[in-house]
Amino acid sequence: MKRIGLANWITIVRMTFIPVFLVFLLGQFGNTQAWVIWRPWLAAAVFTVLAATDAVDGYVARARNEVTTFGKFLDPLADKLLVTAALVGLVQLAAVPGWVAIVIISRELIVSGLRMVAVAEGRVIAASNYGKVKTFFQIVAIIAFILRESTMVPASWASAASATAWFLMGIALVLTVVSAVDYFYHARHIITGPWSSGDPGATR
């Protein structure tokens, strides 16, 4: 049996620290003044580190020749869990409207389902540049919304901070839709069939 490998361990650790990020994002802890002031910054710092490790585990996997099927499954899953956790947390804080989270999360679920169909058909759909840029803007926009909640932001900057956060999120939403359309375009041969007939429900 093959060992998990350092790259996959980094991904696993990244996933296990997502609850820690949520503690900083949503935790109350008596709402002391120091906690209220530093909570958004700590949450943003943890989120940034977890998002940045996506590049680290990929580099380690290539450098140590540890690219595995398990890693190809786990790495994008970790990204989706992190972004989903952040969006749901921001919705709970009423910092982001629910429809934003629905658009982004729905795209990830739909594309993930299509990717599983492609794997079942023995085909691979390469990640596009749209998807990579989309993920970058989602992460930056989420950080902007987290920091927007900080009481350290001067009142005179509040409007500019809000406008910047929404500008970044607007780009992320556009790229979310565009990357989904691009992905479906490149997967059109899978969407139209033929599908494997081994499962009676496969033709539904």
At 106 the pLDDT is: 94
Rounded distance, CA 75 to CA 18, Å? 14
Half-sphere exposure of 9 (CA within 13 A, CB side): 5
Instruction: Report CA 140 to chain centroid distance, whole Å.
Output: 11
| CATH assignment at residue 126 | 1.20.120.1760
Domain that holds residue 133: 6-196
* Total residue count of the chain as it appears in this document: 204
Residue 202 maps to a domain: no
For the chain, the C-alpha Rg in angstroms (whole number) is 19
At 190 the pLDDT is: 73
Spatial CB neighbours of 96, under 8 Å, sequence gap ≥ 6: 87, 90, 145, 169
Residue 1 maps to a domain: no
Q: What residue has token string 């359309």?
A: 181
Burial annotation 179-193 (CB, 10 A radius, 16+ → b, else e)? bbebbeeebeebeee
Structure tokens at 129: 């540049």
**Inter-residue contact 114 to 190 (CB < 8 Å):** yes
Residue 78 maps to a domain: yes
- Claim: this prediction has a pTM higher than 0.75: yes
- 183 closest CA partner among 122, 132, 121: 132
Residue 103 maps to a domain: yes
Q: What is the DSSP letter of 32?
A: -
Structure tokens at 14: 């990244």
Q: What is the DSSP string of 116-181?
A: HHHHHTT---PPPHHHHHHHHHHHHHHHHHHHHT-TTS-GGGHHHHHHHHHHHHHHHHHHHHHHHH
Q: What does each C-alpha distance from 21 to 26, 154, 200 come to in angstroms?
A: 9, 25, 43
Residue 159 maps to a domain: yes
Number of folded domains in the chain? 1
**Inter-residue contact 144 to 86 (CB < 8 Å):** no
Residue 204 maps to a domain: no
pLDDT, tens digit only, all 204 positions of the chain: 456 777 778 888 889 999 999 999 998 776 677 777 888 999 999 999 999 887 777 777 777 777 766 666 777 788 889 999 999 999 999 999 999 999 999 998 888 888 777 767 677 666 678 888 998 999 999 999 999 877 777 777 778 889 999 999 999 999 999 998 888 887 777 776 655 555 544 444
Residue 201 maps to a domain: no
